[in-house]
C-alpha cells in the first residue's frame, strides 16, 4: 500500500473549541499580540511546540498506574534507569523535570565566565543557560544549514573545519565541552549524520574536549540516519541511537520530545567527577537522584515512551505527517525550509513577507496572521527569539527569520493538516496586508516568551 496510515487508533477524544475571527482578534490583543500569552483553549490547532504536547499510548497509561512513589530507590526509577542506560549506554543517569533543568546543572557545574561552548546550533534554553553562567554559546553550523532552499540531507551537521577554527581561536582551555543538538531544532529541525557525529568527536578527542549531545529528538534523528545515510538501512533505530551515544561523553534530554511524555528529562554522563558535581546540584534543585523532580508515574511513562519513539512504524508515520504538510506547501509555492525537519515544518518568514525588515519581526507578523485566520498557533524562530542586543542597546537580527509549525506527537489527524494547509494558503494570498511589529516590553533573557508587541496601525 502507498498510503501511510496512523499506526494507532483513537480511544479517547478531547474537544477543540471553535471560536470566531472576532474572538480571536480580541484574544490576541489581550495577549499583547504575543501568542505565548494566549489561553490554549483559544487555539484551534496548537502547533506552538511538540514539547510535552503528545498523546500517550495505552501502554504508557497502563504504566502510569504502576508508578512507585517511594522517595528513594523506587521500582519506577529502576525501570527508567534501565531504559535510559540501554539507549545511551552511559554510566551515570540523572533524572530531571525537563531538558532545561539538565542544561542548567550542566552549565552551572562546567561553564565559567569567558568560556565558549560551540554547537551546531544551540537551542534557546541551552544558549540562555550557558550565557547565564557567563559563557558564550557559539553556533558552528555547516554552510548548507543556512541555505533554507537547499534540499540536502543532514543540514544539521556541524561545520567540522569551523569547529577546528573555533578551538584554535579560543583555545582548548576555554572550551569545557562542545554540544551537538540532534535533530537541530533551532536550525529547521534538520538531522545530524552519524558521520558528522564521528568527525566532531574525532576533532574534540584530539584536543581533549568532551562531547555533550542535546538528545531531545534522538529517535527522529536515528530515523533520518536509517533513511538517508549509507550503511544504516538494515539497522534498528535503537542500535543507531546507541551508536550515536557511544561517541558522546554526556547528554541532556527533554523527555517531552522523544520520550513521548508530557514532562521529564535527564542528564547522563560517563565521567565520575562530573557525575558527582551534577548529583550535588541535582539534589539542591530537582530532588533526590532517583526521582529528580519527577513522580514515580512519570518515570514509568518515560521508560515506555523512549522505546515507542524508537519504533520504526511510528517514525515512518511521524515523518509522513511532516512531509505531507511540507510537500503541499511547496506545491503552492509557499517558502519553507527544505527539506522538512523531523518534528516541524518551518515557514521562511523573510521570503513570505519580504516587505517587512528583520527588526520589524516578519515572523511575528506571520504567526499572528495564522492565528487570526484559523486559530493556528505557531512560533517565531527569528530575531525575537535569536536576535542579539549588545550593551549599547543595538539589536542585531538573527541569521534566519523562521516560523515553526511543530507537530505534537500522535495528536492531529490528516484532516487537521488539510485545514492547516487551507489557513496557510489564505494567509499567503493576503500576505501583502501584513505589517511590521514593534516590541513595547521585553525582559532581558528569553524575551520571546513574555514580551509585548505593538501591531501596525490599522
Ligand X SMILES: *Cc1c(COP(=O)(O)O)cnc(C)c1O
Closest CB to ligand X among 345 and 427? 345
Closest CB to ligand X among 71 and 449? 449
Q: Which residue is nearest to ligand X (CB)?
A: 99
CA distances from 322 to 121, 220, 345, 346, 400 (A): 21, 12, 6, 10, 21
Closest CB to ligand X among 267 and 427? 267
In the bound complex, what is the minimum distance in angstroms from residue 214's beta carbon to ligand X? 5
In the bound complex, what is the minimum distance in angstroms from residue 181's beta carbon to ligand X? 5
In the bound complex, what is the minimum distance in angstroms from residue 458's beta carbon to ligand X? 36
Closest CB to ligand X among 216 and 336? 216
Q: Regarding beta strands 136-139 and 116-119, do their DSSP bridges make them parallel or antiparallel, or are they unpaired?
A: parallel
Radius of gyration of the chain (CA): 21
Main-chain dihedrals φ then ψ at residue 182, nearest 5 degrees = -125, 125
Q: For residue 399, give the nearest of 363, 453, 447 by alpha carbon.
A: 363
Cβ proximity of 378 and 384 under 8 Å: no
Q: For residue 423, give the nearest of 355, 347, 361 by alpha carbon.
A: 347
Can you give the length of the chain in residues? 458
175: which 3 cell numbers? 572550551
In the bound complex, what is the minimum distance in angstroms from residue 51's beta carbon to ligand X? 5
How far apart are alpha carbons 182 and 124 in whole angstroms? Answer: 14
In the bound complex, what is the minimum distance in angstroms from residue 326's beta carbon to ligand X? 19
Closest CB to ligand X among 121 and 148? 121
Binding positions for ligand X, rule: CB under 6 A:
51, 98-100, 123, 125-126, 181, 185, 214, 216, 254, 256-257, 265
Closest CB to ligand X among 33 and 129? 129
What are residue 402's DSSP bridge partners?
A: 348, 381
In the bound complex, what is the minimum distance in angstroms from residue 100's beta carbon to ligand X? 3
In the bound complex, what is the minimum distance in angstroms from residue 84's beta carbon to ligand X? 15
Q: How far is CA 329 from the centre of its chain?
A: 22
Closest CB to ligand X among 148 and 254? 254
For 292, residues 6+ apart whose C-beta sits below 8 A from its C-beta are 94, 95, 96, 97, 101, 266, 282, 286
Amino acid at each position: 500500500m502507498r498510503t501511510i496510515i496512523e499506526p494507532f487508533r483513537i480511544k479517547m477524544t478531547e474537544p477543540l473549541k471553535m471560536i470566531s475571527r472576532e474572538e480571536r482578534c480580541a484574544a490576541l490583543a489581550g495577549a499583547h499580540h504575543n501568542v505565548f500569552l494566549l489561553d490554549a483553549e483559544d487555539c484551534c490547532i496548537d502547533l506552538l511546540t511538540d514539547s510535552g504536547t503528545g498523546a500517550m499510548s495505552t501502554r504508557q497509561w497502563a504504566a502510569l498506574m504502576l508508578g512507585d512513589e517511594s522517595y528513594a530507590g523506587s521500582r519506577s526509577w529502576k525501570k527508567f534507569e534501565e531504559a535510559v542506560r540501554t539507549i545511551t549506554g552511559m554510566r551515570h543517569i540523572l533524572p530531571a523535570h525537563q531538558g532545561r533543568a539538565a542544561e542548567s546543572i550542566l552549565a552551572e557545574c562546567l561553564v565559567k565566565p569567558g568560556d565558549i561552548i560551540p554547537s551546531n546550533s544551540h537551542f534557546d534554553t541551552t544558549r540562555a543557560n550557558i550565557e547565564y553562567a557567563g559563557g558564550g554559546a557559539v553556533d558552528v553550523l555547516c554552510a548548507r544549514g543556512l541555505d533554507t532552499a537547499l534540499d540536502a540531507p543532514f543540514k544539521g551537521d556541524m561545520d567540522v573545519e569551523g569547529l577546528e577554527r573555533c578551538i584554535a581561536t579560543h583555545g582548548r582551555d576555554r572550551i569545557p565541552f562542545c554540544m551537538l543538538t540532534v535533530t537541530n531544532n533551532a536550525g529547521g529541525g534538520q538531522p545530524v549524520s552519524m558521520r558528522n557525529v564521528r568527525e566532531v568527536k574525532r576533532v574534540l578527542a584530539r584536543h581533549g574536549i568532551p562531547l555533550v549531545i542535546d538528545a531531545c529528538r534522538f529517535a527522529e534523528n536515528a530515523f533520518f540516519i536509517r533513511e538517508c545515510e549509507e550503511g544504516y538501512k538494515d539497522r534498528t533505530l535503537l542500535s543507531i541511537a546507541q551508536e550515536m551515544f557511544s561517541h558522546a561523553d554526556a547528554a541532556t534530554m527533554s523527555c517531552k520530545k522523544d520520550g513521548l511524555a508530557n514532562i521529564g528529562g535527564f542528564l547522563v554522563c560517563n565521567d565520575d567527577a562530573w557525575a558527582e558535581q551534577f548529583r550535588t546540584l541535582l539534589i539542591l534543585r530537582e530532588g533526590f537522584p532517583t526521582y529528580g523532580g519527577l513522580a514515580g508515574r512519570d518515570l514509568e511513562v518515560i521508560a515506555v515512551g523512549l522505546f515507542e519513539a524508537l519504533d520504526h512504524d511510528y517514525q515512518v508515520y511521524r515523518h509522513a505527517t511532516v512531509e505531507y504538510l511540507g510537500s503541499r506547501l511547496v506545491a503552492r509555492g509557499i517558502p519553507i525550509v527544505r527539506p522538512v525537519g523531523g518534528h516541524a515544518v518551518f515557514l521562511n518568514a523573510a521570503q513570505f513577507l519580504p516587505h517587512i525588515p528583520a527588526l520589524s519581526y516578519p515572523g511575528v507578523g506571520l504567526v499572528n496572521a495564522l492565528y487570526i485566520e484559523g486559530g493556528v498557533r505557531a512560533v517565531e524562530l527569528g530575531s525575537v527569539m535569536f536576535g542579539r542586543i549588545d550593551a549599547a542597546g543595538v539589536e542585531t537580527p538573527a541569521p534566519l527569520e523562521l516560523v515553526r509549525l511543530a507537530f505534537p506527537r500522535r495528536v492531529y489527524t490528516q484532516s487537521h493538516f488539510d485545514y492547516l494547509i487551507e489557513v496557510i494558503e489564505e494567509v499567503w494570498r493576503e500576505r501583502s496586508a501584513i505589517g511590521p511589529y514593534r516590541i513595547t516590553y521585553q525582559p532581558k533573557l528569553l524575551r520571546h516568551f513574555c514580551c509585548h508587541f505593538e501591531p501596525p496601525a490599522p
